[in-house]
Amino acid sequence: MKIKNLIVGAWPSWIILAQRLAEKGEEVLIVEKRNHIWWNCYDYYDENGILIHKYWPHIFHTDLEDVWKYVNRFSEFSNFQHKVLWLVDGNLVPVPFNLNSIYQSFSPELAEKLEETLLKYYEYNSKVSITELREKASKENNKELSFLADYIFEKIFKNYTIKQWGITAEEINTDVLKRVPVVISRDNRYFPHNKFQWMPEKWYTKMFEKMLDNKNIKVLLNTDYKDIISEIEYEKLYFTWPIDEYFDFKYGKLEYRKTLYKLEEYNKQSFQENIVINYPNDYDYTRITEFKKFYPNSPTFDIEKTVICKEIPWIWEIEAYPVETKENLEILEKYKKDAEKLKNVFFLWRLANYKYFDMDKTIKNVLDFKI
């Protein structure tokens, strides 16, 4: 069989690439091992009509105008401002930690003092990483600021990071902790900085199916590329699999954070009081998502059934998050050098780039890819 573009893995990036190539008039064959498209982002309606994100919850948020414009070609979206709560010492408080969290965690007198202190050092609406806040507290030698920085670090970041990554918050790339800053305002949203925060009006899989709806695109599901690659003559190969796997791990295996996404169904209308609750200190899971709460206007919202997802790190092999330590990045450089020598094989996305990308950065990555 002869084909111009062979894509291994119906991952989000490659679906978008296929859409762009097909629109240009080029033929594309996508070979996918699983029985569905779009890999870990796959969503579907269960028998009760509840929309489930099969592997883990995906929330679309971005500031990138071109990405936002692109996805709008394939789906309608409904406004969705994501909010998360933390369970700390039996108390549910808003994440990211903000002025509301302070008032819910301490006595009014202490909370007032802490708010005043923060506003002495930072402007209202600033976002500060916990690393920066701790450094500031130690530099300024301020008792209140140190108390607050230590409290947030100890109660929220320290154990969660060890639970999730297996390394300490001091060892991890500081960019990871910056994702959840301390917010000096009363904004309870999880992504306070992002201009566009939406969920697809129908479901993500539908949006990706629409991208694939072109006569130039063929998709083979339930097919391992290794079983058919010798029969295919291609001009270009687009590879989704981890870059180290492509090179048979010759420089060593790149490490990923592995997580079990455990779905549980309950015969009740509601399981928890918020769509996502984080558990920084207790239990073996880091967070619980209750899917139906993404769509409060859905006709199934009030039924006596609900499905949750528990995220339990280190159990199962969904290789989702690259662990960007110095050692791993050194191994990555070696693979990247070898990859540059290949004329007709291309790597994209998280596993190929070994980068902790959000969905919008993934899309940007492929929109910027020259075809």
Nearest residue (CB) to ligand UDP, 160 versus 354: 160
Minimum distance from residue 259 beta carbon to ligand UDP (Å): 8
Collect all residues with Cβ–Cβ distance below 8 Å to 105 and sequence separation of at least 6. 88, 91, 93, 111, 151
Q: Cβ closer to ligand UDP: 101 or 240?
A: 101
Min. distance of Cβ 328 from ligand UDP in angstroms?
16
User: Both tokens of residue 84?
Assistant: 């998360």
Tell me whether residue 2 is exposed, middle or buried, using C-beta atoms within 10 angstroms of its C-beta: 0 to 12, 13 to 18, 19 or more: exposed
Are β-strands 345-347 and 233-239 bridged in parallel, bridged antiparallel, or unpaired? parallel
* Shortest distance (Å) from residue 88 CB to ligand UDP: 9
Q: With respect to ligand UDP, which residue has the nearer C-beta, 143 or 179?
A: 179
Orientation of helix 359-367 relative to helix 12-23, angle to 10°: 30
Cβ–Cβ contacts within 10 Å for residue 37, how many? 22
Distance in Å, CB of 52 to ligand UDP, minimum: 18
Q: How far is the CB of 160 from ligand UDP (least distance, A)?
A: 3
252 touches 55 (CB < 8 A): no
Nearer to ligand UDP, 200 or 313 (CB): 313
Backbone angles phi, psi at 40, to 5 degrees: -75, 0
Which residue number, 170 or 330, has a Cβ lying nearer to ligand UDP? 170
CA distance 177 to 180: 6
Go through 276-302 and write b for each residue having 16 or more CB atoms within 10 A of its CB, e for each that does not.
Answer: bbbbbbeeebbbbbbbbbbbeebeeee
In whole angstroms, the minimum distance from the beta carbon of 50 to ligand UDP comes to 21
Residues that bind ligand UDP (CB under 6 A): 86, 95, 156-157, 160-161, 164, 176-177, 179-180, 278, 280
Which residues sit opposite 28 in a β-bridge? 5, 217
Query: What is the smallest separation between the CB atom of 190 and ligand UDP, expressed in angstroms?
Result: 7
Q: Closest CB to ligand UDP among 32 and 155? A: 155
The 3-state DSSP class for residue 354 equals coil
Q: Which is nearer to ligand UDP, 227 or 282 (CB)?
A: 282
* Residue placing its CB nearer to ligand UDP in the complex, 5 or 289: 289
- Give me the least distance between CB of 135 and ligand UDP, in Å please: 17
Structure tokens at 87: 């369970």
Closest to ligand UDP by CB, 101 vs 164, is 164
Shortest spacing between CB 264 and ligand UDP, in angstroms: 19
| Token couple for 19 | 């859409």
For ligand UDP, the nearest residue by Cβ is: 160
CB 227 within 8 A of CB 336: no
Q: Which residues contact 230 (CB under 8 A, 6 or more apart)?
A: none
Virtual CA dihedral for 107, 108, 109, 110, nearest 10 degrees? Answer: 50
